[in-house]
Structure 1
Amino acid sequence: MAPLTRQCLLFAVGSSLFALATMPGFPSWAGAGAANAACFVGSWFFTTAAGLQLAAADRHRRPEWYSAATQFVGTLLFNLSTGAAVWAHVVTEQRRYVWTPDATGSLAFLISGVLAMAAVIATSGLVAVRSRAWLAAALNLMGCLAFGVSATGAFIRESGVTADERLANLGTFVGALCFLAAALTSLPRSSRR
């Protein structure tokens, strides 16, 4: 399997797990513990894909390399936040450890998405809807924005209650669908058959 195909499939699996975990109705049906566990497992697929992407990135193509590096840091922060969410489900007073890596990871994703879009615009033009690279970067950036919205809703108040659980889940769900679409758009044509 080609490295790009492997990265795209790993991103797609991770995105699918995040989408499933935050799909409207799933957390109430399966329980918060199952939803948190699905996000935790999905975060590791993201980190593996981002690690492969960073390893393959050309350091001389600075925007792309910085985008991959920032994204990788963001995935590590999501590993922390989703792991803390699994733990906090069991130990309620630990919920305060969930939001900071989540918000910081969302910021890293947003920076990464802007850098990736800038790199694609430099080669494809400002609006190049027919370019798969441009479309994937735009979908990725939309996913990054949605994850940022999710982080604002996921803020943990001093009482240990999430500020807006519906906004947090909806932002993650929409972001995950955008990341899934970006991964499938980036999938090499020979792998689509």
Structure 2
Amino acid sequence: MAVLFAVGSLLFAVGATSVYADAVGTRWDNVTFFVGSLFFTSAGFLTYREAVDAAPPAMNPADRRVLVYQPQRIDWWASGVQLIGTLFFNVSTGTALAASLSPHAAHDHVWRPDALGSVCFLVSSGLAWFEVCHGWAAWRPKDWAWWITLANLVGSVAFGVSAVGAYVNPVSGQVHNAQEAAVQTLIGAVCFFVGAVLLLPERTEHTGERAAATTA
């Protein structure tokens, strides 16, 4: 999951830079975003599967694999909403590959799913933040999970601001603020990259704790 999220974030960050976009052209820049969205979806699916397979203490481990619907768990909602958001990004970046789009089509099939995907990421990050903090605010700088969810929350806010800047007028086809959209996409992607990289030491720490508990 960490590697897939990191690669997807890196591709979004690269695609958002004007230097790269000018060097490869609009089409290949759009391809970069689309490929990055596929990495996001792959990582999002694994995250969702991990949430589904994480059985509550009272549940029989043999039954947890078939229990897909778990609305009583915040992590299930967070991972599920995140996965839906990645699918919206697939649609948005995939449609952007079309050679010629009318202003109305660009509004409906590029900007709108991008905005919905950004909303999903923001909701997912907010739920994850609430679960880690056991509320809406906490200060836990020694907790890897706290830093990861903070990075993802800031990244989701940046993606939301980016979606506002990327608004496409359905009549004229004009983008509201393309530069702001690119800058915020870059900020969000960097935050997601940081969050993905931090998953590695968190995994190592948890593996060590489980090994110690087993030995004890």
TM over 0.5: yes
TM-score (norm. length: structure 1)? 0.89
On the 8 A contact 2:7/2:36 being kept in 1, the answer is yes
Opposite residue 179 of structure 1, the aligned amino acid is: F
Q: Deviations over 1:56-112 (max 9, x none)?
A: 10347711110000000000000000011111xx11313222011000110000000
Alignment partner, residue 32 of structure 1: 26
Gaps in structure 2 of 5+ consecutive residues: 55-69, 206-216
Partner SS for 1:134: helix
2:81 pairs with 58, 62, 70, which one? Answer: 70
1:10 aligns with 2:4: yes
* Corresponding position of 1:48: 42
Shift of residue 28 of structure 1? 2.1
What is the RMSD of the two structures over their aligned residues, measured on CA atoms?
1.6
Alignment of 1:138-157 (within 5 A): 138-157=150-169
Does structure 1 residue 134 correspond to structure 2 residue 146?
Answer: yes
Structure 1 residue ranges without an equivalent (≥5): 1-6
TM-score of the aligned structures, taking structure 2 as reference length:
0.80
Equivalent residue for 2:17, pick from 4, 11, 23 = 23
- Is the partner of 2:97 in helix, strand or coil? helix
Q: 1:14 and 1:183 mapped to 2: Cα distance?
A: 10
CA shift for structure 1 position 29: 2.4
Query: Who wins on radius of gyration, i.e. which is larger?
Result: 2
Are residues 61 and 15 of structure 1, via their aligned partners in 2, closer, same or farther at CA, if it must alter by over 3 Å? farther
The answer to which structure has the higher helix fraction is: 1
Mapped to 2, the partners of 1:75 and 1:60 lie a distance apart of 20
Match of residue 168, structure 1, among 163, 181, 206: 181
Partners of 1:183 and 1:36 in 2: CA distance: 23
Moved over 3 A (4+): 58-61
- Equivalenced residues, count: 181
SS in 2 for 1:86: coil
| Identity within the alignment, % | 38
Q: Could you tell me which residue of structure 2 aligns to residue 180 of structure 1?
A: 193
**Does the 8 Å CA contact 2:71/2:77 hold for their aligned counterparts?**
no
